[in-house]
Amino acid sequence: MELKALIFDVDGTLAETEEVHRQAFNETFAARGIDWCWSKDDYRTLLRTTGGKERMAKHRENVGYGPTDSEIAELHKAKTKRYVEIIASGQVDLLPGVADLIDRAQAVGLRIAIATTTTRANVDALIAATFRRPPEAIFEVIAAGDEVARKKPAPDVYLLALKSLDLPPEACIAFEDSRAGLASAKAAGLRVVLTPSEYTRGDDFSAADWLIPDLSAAATKEIPELP
């Protein structure tokens, strides 16, 4: 089937944002007097749990103490606010090849979408800070983690993106950086381009259709369907 759309994950795929998430979590914990401080190794392990609130609950389970579920929900709101502030300050750039691939895809009439576990506020902040354009000017569909019942590795967010595009999975290619994202996209029936990120390098991505270092033109030439 002819390729009609590209569907992108966000964190680790469009930009290396996980360190900003970790910083925002740790600053939020400190501001609220919570004795948690996640190292890079801690966060690498916690990233196996998708979703910020879920990640905090997992850490609470691991250490045996911490905020209640309702307090975690409030912490997550504060963390999101801090993340948006950091992103808006311009500290993060798009990963190599991302902007060029999207420009080339739009030039040949491909539709562009997002399917992410992160919240819509985080997506909007990153797009505004990196593309310098409104999200809707680039991405026809933005399916975010706060819009679905189950987060990655469940297929829900990709199924939502496909429904919004009104396209079958065979007409789309997904772009991911993690095992959870890969599993989510494959469960939705999509072919997947996997570009490992800082926190996922070395993981098993044998289920990916294409495994490439980045989205530069030199790397994506391995995928004949891409412009």
Query: Is 224 within the bounds of a domain?
Result: no
Q: Are residues 198 and 108 part of one domain?
A: yes
111 and 32 inside one domain: no
Taking only the tens place, the pLDDT of each residue in 194-204 is 999 999 999 99
Helix (H) or strand (E) holding 210: strand 210-211
25 and 101, same domain (yes or no): no
User: Do both 139 and 189 map to the same domain?
Assistant: yes
Amino acid at 179: R
Whether residue 106 is found in the same domain as residue 52 = no
Residue labelled with tokens 């991505």: 205
Say if 226 falls within a structural domain: no
Is residue 75 one of the residues assigned to a domain?
Answer: yes
10 & 84 share domain: no
pLDDT of residue 155: 98
Residues 45 and 148 in one domain: no
User: Do both 72 and 21 map to the same domain?
Assistant: yes
What CATH number has the domain bearing residue 146? 3.40.50.1000
Q: For the stretch 44-78, what's the b/e string if a residue is b when 16 or more beta carbons lie within 10 angstroms of its beta carbon?
A: bbbbebbbbbbbbbebbeeeeebbeeeebeebbeb
What would the pLDDT profile of 83-111 be if each residue is shown by its tens digit? 999 999 998 999 999 999 999 999 999 99
Q: Which of 89, 107, 136 is the last residue of a domain?
A: 89
pLDDT of residue 152: 96
Is residue 69 flagged as an active site residue? no
Q: What is the pLDDT of residues 115-166, one digit of tens each?
A: 999 999 999 999 999 999 999 999 999 999 889 999 999 999 999 999 999 9
Average pLDDT over residues 169-190: 98
Of 60, 89, 118, the last residue of a domain is 89
Instruction: Band the pLDDT of 167: cuts 50, 70, 90.
Output: very high
Q: What is the pTM of this model?
A: 0.92
Is residue 225 situated within a structural domain?
no
pLDDT of residue 148: 95
Looking at residue 114, its pLDDT comes to 98
Rounded-to-integer distance, Cα 97 and Cα 73, Å: 35
Query: Is 214 part of the annotated catalytic residue set?
Result: no
Task: Report the CATH number that the domain containing residue 68 is assigned in CATH.
Answer: 1.10.150.240
Interacting residues of 198 by C-beta distance below 8 A, sequence separation 6+ = 12, 16, 18, 19
At residue 87, the pLDDT reads: 95
Asked, for residue 79, whether it belongs to a domain, the answer is yes
Residue 223 lies in a domain: no
From 89, 124, 147, give the residue that closes a domain.
89
Q: Which of 11, 69, 100, 177 is catalytic?
A: 11
The span from the first CA to the last CA of the chain, in angstroms, equals 16
**Domain that residue 213 falls in:** 5-16+93-217
User: How many structural domains comprise the chain?
Assistant: 2
Q: Are 81 and 105 part of one and the same domain?
A: no
Question: What are φ and ψ of residue 112, in 5° steps?
Answer: -120, 130
Give the separation between CA 90 and CA 41, rounded to whole angstroms. 25
Q: Are residues 183 and 98 in the same domain?
A: yes
Q: Are residues 46 and 72 in the same domain?
A: yes
- 50 and 100, same structural domain? no
Task: Answer whether residue 122 is part of any domain.
Answer: yes
3-state class (DSSP) for residue 38:
coil
Query: pLDDT tens digit string along 51-86?
Result: 999 999 999 999 999 999 999 999 999 999 999 999
Sorting pLDDT into bands at 50, 70 and 90, what band is 40?
very high
Q: What is the mean pLDDT of the chain?
A: 96
